[in-house]
Structures are given as C-alpha cells and as structure tokens.
Amino acid sequence: LPRDTFFGNAMRDFIKQDAEAYTAKAEIKLHPDAKLTSITRFSTTDVGYVASLPQATFGPTVNVGNPQRLQDTESLAHQTELTVKFDTAGLRHTVVAGVEASKVDLERYGYTLLTTPPGGVPLFFPDPYRGLLNPALNTVGPPTLTYNATIENRAAYLLDTIKLSGLDKAKYKGK
C-alpha cells in the first residue's frame, strides 16, 4: 500500500482542541537579600477527536477502528516561596523555602460510533466518502462519561545553594 493511503472518514473524523491558562504572580522585596514570591495558575484544556485507522485485514478488506475521546481538564496550582541570601564564613548561601499545592479535575468521555461498514473497507481502494452511501457512518453519538478523577498534590521544600567564593577565584586564576 502507498504510505499516503487514507482510511479515514472525511465526513466524520475530527479533532477539536482548546486551551486557556491564566497566571498571577506577586513578588514582595522584604529586604535587599530577601523576597517573597507567590504564583497562582489556572488552566483548562478541552480535547475531542474521532479518527479512523485500519485494523485487522481479511483478504481484500480491512476493518477500521476509531480511536476517540472527549476530555476536559481543569487545573489550579499555587506556589509561595521565600528566598533569602546571606554570607557565613566566606560562603554565599541562597536559601529557598516554599510550599505548593495543586488540584486537577479530569473528565473523559467516549463517543458512540458505527465504526466499520458491513463487510469492511476495501484494502486497496478505501473510500474516504463512504458516509455518502451509508450516512450512519458519519454519526457521532452523545458522549458518555468513562472516567473522572481529581488529583491533588501538596509539598513543602527547603533548598540551600552554596557558592564557594574561594573556589570561584581559584577557578579563574591564571586565565
């Protein structure tokens, strides 16, 4: 078969995508060497598709499968951290302490479809407009909920990055 053989249903197959994201950030300088940062992000994604692809071949015909999904996702995440810089015994410290939390709500649906015409699709001459002769092949039934979940994460962290100033000087010595 040529690589560009199209087994799809041009009268039904589709992909629809939408994504929106909003971010708010506040930063407060508490001291020349200390700042508080807070970031909140809200996003939604909606993806729906129906596709056609060849599956089992029976001689001169092929069954056509239809991967499909409608998925809506909504997420909210928040992070607050305090960054402090200071020197001790010739070492420059940058300490970051923070907390974060996130929540993702996900709903996944499946469509009701008539996938393959009786007898399959001709292997060597698949008709992308087969829905003209059998309009039921173009029907995308109402979505049915197949999976939903809420995923929540919470974390706290503390990091200390140390700059070894003596090694810095040695690194560049002689250049």
Q: For residue 168, what pLDDT is reported?
A: 53
Distance CA 112, CA 69 (A): 10
Collect all residues with Cβ–Cβ distance below 8 Å to 140 and sequence separation of at least 6.
12, 50, 111, 112, 113
Return the pLDDT at 108: 97
Structure token pair of residue 23: 């971010």
Cβ pair 84, 92 in contact under 8 A: no
Contact call for residues 112 and 145 (beta carbons, < 8 A):
no
How confident is the model at residue 106, as a pLDDT? 97
Residue 66: DSSP 8-state: -
User: Are the beta carbons of 79 and 98 closer than 8 angstroms?
Assistant: yes
- Provide the H-helix boundaries in 65-127: none
Q: How far apart are CA 39 and CA 100, in angstroms?
A: 9
Locate 123 and state its tokens. 């292997």
- Amino acid identity at 13: D
Residue-wise pLDDT for 29-67, tens only, equals 999 999 999 999 999 999 999 998 888 887 888 888 889
| H or E element, residue 6 | none
Q: Which residues of the chain have pLDDT under 70?
A: 115, 165-175
- pLDDT for the residue 58: 75
Task: Give the N- to C-terminal CA distance of the chain in Å, as an integer.
Answer: 63
Picking from 94, 83, 82, the residue whose alpha carbon sits closest to that of residue 165 is 94
Per-residue pLDDT at 89: 83
The predicted pLDDT at position 81 comes to 98
Interacting residues of 57 by C-beta distance below 8 A, sequence separation 6+: 63, 123
pLDDT at res. 121: 86
